[in-house]
Chains A and B, each alone.
Chain A
Amino acid sequence: GIQVEQSPPDLILQEGANSTLRCNFSDSVNNLQWFHQNPWGQLINLFYIPSGTKQNGRLSATTVATERYSLLYISSSQTTDSGVYFCAVGGNQGGKLIFGQGTELSVKP
């Protein structure tokens, strides 16, 4: 099955700093999504991005499907950005997603 690796596993930032989170996957995918799990456990969908680039406020994501990786950029980080960021991929559109182990981000005031 598809393998998903995320890096770094942990990241500590000072408020206002920028960061880049990476997701590598082992096979071609038709579905790639980024999620944020807040400290209370709620998972929020950030992006559906099997290829190309998208931006939403301070967050943006880029997927280079031919090279099997995706990047999530967080600019001007805030304490509310803390939590775990998951990359999830699927071989079929709309089917099951395979999740990486996540990057745990802590933003300090």
Chain B
Amino acid sequence: GAGVSQSPSNKVTEKGKDVELRCDPISGHTALYWYRQSLGQGLEFLIYFQGNSAPDKSGLPSDRFSAERTGGSVSTLTIQRTQQEDSAVYLCASRPPWGAKGYGYTFGSGTRLTVV
């Protein structure tokens, strides 16, 4: 697609429920990143996928968070047993092969998650 697509754009869930957030990166982009942004804050790194390499999971805040990337394309971020502190905007970004077609990261519009 023309840009990074994230769905849903908004999600309200009850505390304790599981949620899945989806990211569809730009075609041909080999790297994919998940970040989250709490109200009025900067971006917090969560996880990074690069091709077939093992993902960098160093930013996942707890074992309730997991992510997968199927077929080197679409990625799903899953949050189990949601807590109120999980409320944030979850942003996905993708990037072309380093140097081949540029270096810039392209972000999606995000999923605003509200846990009530």
Give the B-binding residues of A (Cβ under 8 A). 31, 33, 35, 41-45, 48, 86, 88, 93-102
Chain A residues with Cβ below 8 Å from B95 are 94
Closest to B107 in A: A43
A86-B42, A93-B98, A97-B105 known, 7 other contacts, Cβ within 8 Å: A41-B110, A42-B107, A45-B107, A96-B56, A99-B42, A99-B45, A102-B42
Q: Is the interface of B mostly helix, strand, loop or mixed?
A: strand
Give the A-binding residues of B (Cβ under 8 A). 31, 33, 35, 41-45, 48, 50, 56, 58-59, 89, 91, 93, 95, 98-99, 102-107, 109-110
Query: Do residues B31 and A42 form an inter-chain contact, with CB atoms below 8 A?
Result: no
Given A86-B42, A86-B43, A97-B45, A48-B33 contact (CB < 8 Å): no
Chain B residues with Cβ below 8 Å from A86 are 42-43
Given A33-B104, A86-B42, A102-B42, A94-B110 contact (CB < 8 Å): no
A98 partner, pick from B45, B93, B104, beta carbons under 8 A:
B45
Closest to A98 in B: B45
Query: Do residues B45 and A31 form an inter-chain contact, with CB atoms below 8 A?
Result: no
Q: Can you list 26 residue pairs at the A/B interface with Cβ under 8 Å?
A: A33-B104, A41-B89, A41-B109, A42-B107, A45-B104, A45-B105, A45-B106, A45-B107, A86-B42, A88-B43, A93-B98, A94-B31, A94-B50, A94-B95, A94-B98, A95-B48, A95-B50, A95-B56, A96-B45, A96-B58, A96-B59, A97-B45, A97-B105, A99-B43, A99-B44, A99-B45
